[in-house]
Each structure stands twice: as C-alpha cells, then as structure tokens.
C-alpha cells in the first residue's frame, strides 16, 4: 500500500473556517472512494493524510468562532510535504474586506514551501503566498473582493479576479469561499483522476465539478445591487427571459420610461449599458449549456436569445476568447 500524500493546511487565529474544512472534507471523501473501490487495505493509488499546522499548535479560533485543533505547531512540521494549503483571513475595512497579512505565517510559508511538491492558496490566502514571494511573475486569482488589494500590493503578480481557481506551475490559487471545494477537487483529479474527483463531487452534492477557467460569479452577482428596486427586478426578468425581446425599447417600455431616460438610469445603477448587460447574461447562459449539454449550437443560440450560430461565435469569443467547440471540449462536465 503506497504511503498517503501528506497535506498540511495552515491554521491561525481568525482563519476562514470553510477554507480549512472544505478541502479537508474533499480529501477525506477521496480516501473513502479509494477504499470503496480497492478495499480497506488500499491498492495502487495513495490517498491523503491531512494535518493542520498552526503557529503554536493546539486550539485555534476561526472567523466563525468555531475552534479547530492543530495537529502540529509550525516548528513540528518537518519532512517532505505533498501539498501545502494556505487559507486566509480578512479584517473589515471602510471599502470592504481587507486581507490580513500575518507576518509569522508568511515567514513560515516562505521557508516551508520548498519542501512541498505543490503549494495552493484558498481565497485570500493568495495574499500570504504573495507576501512570501511565491506568486511573483505568476497569473493568480483570489476572492474578488480583495483582488484589487492584491494587485496594488504586489504589482509583480498578475491578478485575474474572475476564475474560480488557477494553476501556474506547481502553485495553485483559488477564489473564495466555496471555490475552495472546486480547487481541492481539481487537486484530487490531478492525483487520482477525473472519475474519483467526480465521485467526490457527487458525494458532496455539488451541482457539478466546475473547471478553473469558469467565472467566480454569475452576471447578476457580478454587479452591485441597484439602489432602485425596479432595476434589480428588471435584471431578474432579463435572466428569466433570455430568449425574449430584451431590446432597449422593450426594456424601456417594461420600465414605463422613455428610451433615453431608461438608458441613463440603467447605466447609473449597473455601471453598464442594457445591451452589454443582456449580451453578458446571454453568453453566460450559452456557457452553461455548453458545459452541461450536447445540444447543437443552433438550439443553444435559440434558447439563449443569441439568434444565429454566427452571432453566438462572435459573442462567446468576445467574452471568453475562445470558440464554442473549444469551450465545450474544455468545460464539458456531465455525461
């Protein structure tokens, strides 16, 4: 029976609870899947040994108020690691959450990372990796709410706030907060194959095992809530009627506004034009159908209100930089 892959998850005061327990649960379920397929004595595939390591060992209080018990202190972590997983913590700020930089954690991560086959950050843990110098010259992601802070603090790092996770060599970075599960599933897929990873996703009752290039949030969630309730209601209407007439005149009529007044109000409340918003919502729907179905492109275009296949090609390439066929090959997740 091969030795298990040693995964060390960093814990420290006010760490985000799910950033720790989410990946740990994914690795535990992967072990269960292996045991179920190859017997309790194991087989050719190594599972995982998950350990929590903190500055001093013992109990650590998370941001949720739940206490975790670290298996090891930083000083007690020795030997070779398979995976070093670094979650994060935030403090409240006037403009939103601010990633906390714990210098003791940064020093230990910088010293320990060379012992690991791969290093991964979860959510705002990317700020700790960046402070340790592990992200220089890499394209990375983090929670969307602190992406601007990461880019400003570390101009040598290319920050992409959209994907749910990214890989650059042996360094992985994930968005937050539930995206920690997607990142952990991707690590399992790399180690044990897609079949095991998908089985774990089913055990977790996850809608699907999302791929790294997918967006952290949907079009409605990517825009701040509107001050006007009628604009928020219109956004929901758009999402529910993508195959209908969502032209500016039709939307203005629905709002009982002149086209000019409607255009001004919509941009003021959402930061974009109605046409751009509708196109983005329709392309998101296209992406979901490409990911989850084998429908012909003509049907996809019609269902999403895109119109023709040619228009679908142009719209998808504009927003994702790829063709429908290439997108489907990369992100198709269900049989």
pLDDT tens-digit series, residues 26-70? 999 999 999 987 665 545 678 999 999 999 989 999 999 999 999
Mean pLDDT rounded to a whole number for the chain: 88
Give helix 248-255 / helix 229-240 axis angle, nearest 10°: 130
Cβ neighbours around 174 below 10 Å, total: 35
Q: How far is 226 from 321, CA to CA, in rounded Å?
A: 29
Indicate whether 222 pLDDT > 80.
no
The mean per-residue pLDDT over the stretch 259-265 comes to 95
Say if CB 79 and CB 115 are below 8 A apart: yes
Band (229; pLDDT cuts 50, 70, 90): confident
User: How far is residue 7's CA from residue 10's CA, in Å, rounded to a whole number?
Assistant: 10
Write down the pTM of the prediction.
Answer: 0.68
C-alpha 89: how far from chain center: 16
Q: And the tokens for 179?
A: 């995206």
pLDDT, tens digit, for every residue of 238-250? 988 999 999 999 9
Q: How far apart are CA 106 and CA 81, in angstroms?
A: 17
The pLDDT value recorded for residue 39 is 61
Digit-coded pLDDT (tens) for 168-178: 999 999 987 77
The residue-averaged pLDDT of 210-218 equals 50
Q: How much is the pLDDT for 217? A: 44
pLDDT digits (tens, 9 = 90+) for 66-107: 999 999 999 999 999 999 999 999 999 888 899 999 999 999
Task: Provide CB contacts within 8 A for 114, sequence distance 6+.
Answer: none
221 pLDDT exceeds 50?
no
pLDDT at 250: 96
């Amino acid at each position: 029976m091969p030795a298990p892959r040693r995964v060390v998850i960093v814990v420290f005061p006010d760490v985000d609870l799910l950033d720790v327990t989410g990946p740990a649960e994914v690795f535990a379920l992967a072990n269960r899947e292996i045991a179920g397929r190859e017997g309790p004595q194991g087989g050719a595939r190594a599972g995982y040994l998950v350990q929590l390591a903190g500055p001093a060992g013992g109990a650590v209080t998370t941001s949720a108020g739940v206490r975790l018990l670290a298996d090891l202190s930083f000083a007690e972590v020795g030997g070779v690691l398979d995976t070093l997983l670094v979650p994060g913590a935030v403090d409240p700020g006037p403009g939103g959450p601010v990633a906390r930089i714990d210098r003791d954690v940064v020093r230990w991560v910088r010293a320990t990372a060379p012992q690991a086959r791969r290093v991964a950050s979860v959510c705002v843990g990317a700020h700790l990796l960046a402070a340790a110098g592990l992200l220089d010259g890499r394209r990375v992601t983090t929670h969307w709410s602190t992406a601007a802070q990461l880019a400003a603090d570390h101009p040598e790092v290319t920050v992409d706030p959209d994907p749910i996770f990214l890989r650059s060599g042996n360094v992985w970075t994930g968005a937050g907060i539930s995206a920690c599960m997607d990142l952990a599933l991707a690590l399992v897929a790399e180690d044990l194959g897609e079949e095991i990873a998908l089985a774990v996703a089913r055990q977790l009752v996850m809608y699907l095992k999302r791929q790294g290039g997918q967006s952290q949030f949907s079009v409605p969630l990517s825009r701040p809530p509107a001050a006007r309730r009628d604009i928020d209601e219109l956004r929901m209407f758009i999402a529910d009627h993508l195959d209908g007439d969502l032209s500016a005149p039709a939307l203005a009529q629905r709002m009982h506004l002149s086209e000019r007044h409607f255009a001004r109000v919509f941009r003021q409340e959402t930061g974009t034009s109605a046409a751009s918003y509708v196109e983005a919502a329709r392309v998101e729907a296209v992406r979901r159908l490409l990911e989850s179905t084998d429908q012909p492109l003509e049907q996809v275009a019609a269902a999403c209100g895109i119109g023709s296949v040619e228009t679908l090609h142009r719209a998808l390439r504009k927003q994702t930089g790829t063709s429908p066929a290439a997108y489907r090959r990369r992100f198709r997740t269900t049989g």
